Structure 1
């Protein structure tokens, strides 16, 4: 049986993967993400399994409210879900003014 902590971690990782999938379909946001991180598109598949990378995806989203709201609207995700994912992935570090 999974603990609440495991469920939260799994949910957080799922949210982060949703962010990546959404970004991949949004050329302007995706380009900004790649530019800010210095990553190449070819590096994303391997990085997607890295918890620090997933935390960075959520951090990117939270760092720019218009991007966060665009993601939430497009995916019908509540902003609070993104905040919880950030907390779970970073151990509670605060970013983007949240």
Structure 2
């Protein structure tokens, strides 16, 4: 089944980012939720705005919600964001495992400088 958010199919990264931003706004709107979020993540209030522009931060917000059953239920009830939509968004924001493997292969075997022994 294809997950939707606000009537749109979560088809890619931009849709997943929209879900994450809505969830972040939901967290920030409640004092108890934002205090708990800051305590768990170690972030400061002044760093959230700058961090919110990165894909990794938005992925972290969704993973934070996915690990908290009460918060997951609250986003479902109050935002009408189904837990499956959050999970689908996590998949879209997660780095591609193939890209990670390709990067590691390049980093794992650095090229040594070549010397011509016949000079």
TM-score above 0.5, yes or no: yes
TM-score by length of 2: 0.68
CA distance in 1, matches of 2:91, 2:28: 23
Unaligned runs of 5+ in 1: 1-6, 94-98
The offset of 1:91, in angstroms, is: 3.9
2:46 pairs with 1:42: yes
Larger relative contact order, structure 1 or 2 (CA cutoff 8 Å, min sep 6): 1
CA distance in 1, matches of 2:44, 2:93: 23
Q: When you count helix as a share of all residues, which structure comes out higher?
A: 1
Aligned counterpart in structure 1 of residue 81 of structure 2, from 61, 77, 80: 77
Per the alignment, in what secondary structure is the counterpart of residue 49 of structure 1?
coil
Stretches (4+) displaced over 4 A: none
In the alignment, which residue of structure 2 is the partner of 1:16? 20
Q: Is the 8 A contact 2:75 2:82 kept in 1?
A: no
TM-score by length of 1: 0.82
In the alignment, which residue of structure 2 is the partner of 1:59? 63
Q: Is the 8 A contact 1:86 1:92 kept in 2?
A: no
Q: Is the 8 A contact 2:56 2:93 kept in 1?
A: yes
Unaligned runs of 5+ in 2: 1-10, 98-119
Greater C-alpha Rg: 2
Per the alignment, in what secondary structure is the counterpart of residue 77 of structure 1?
coil
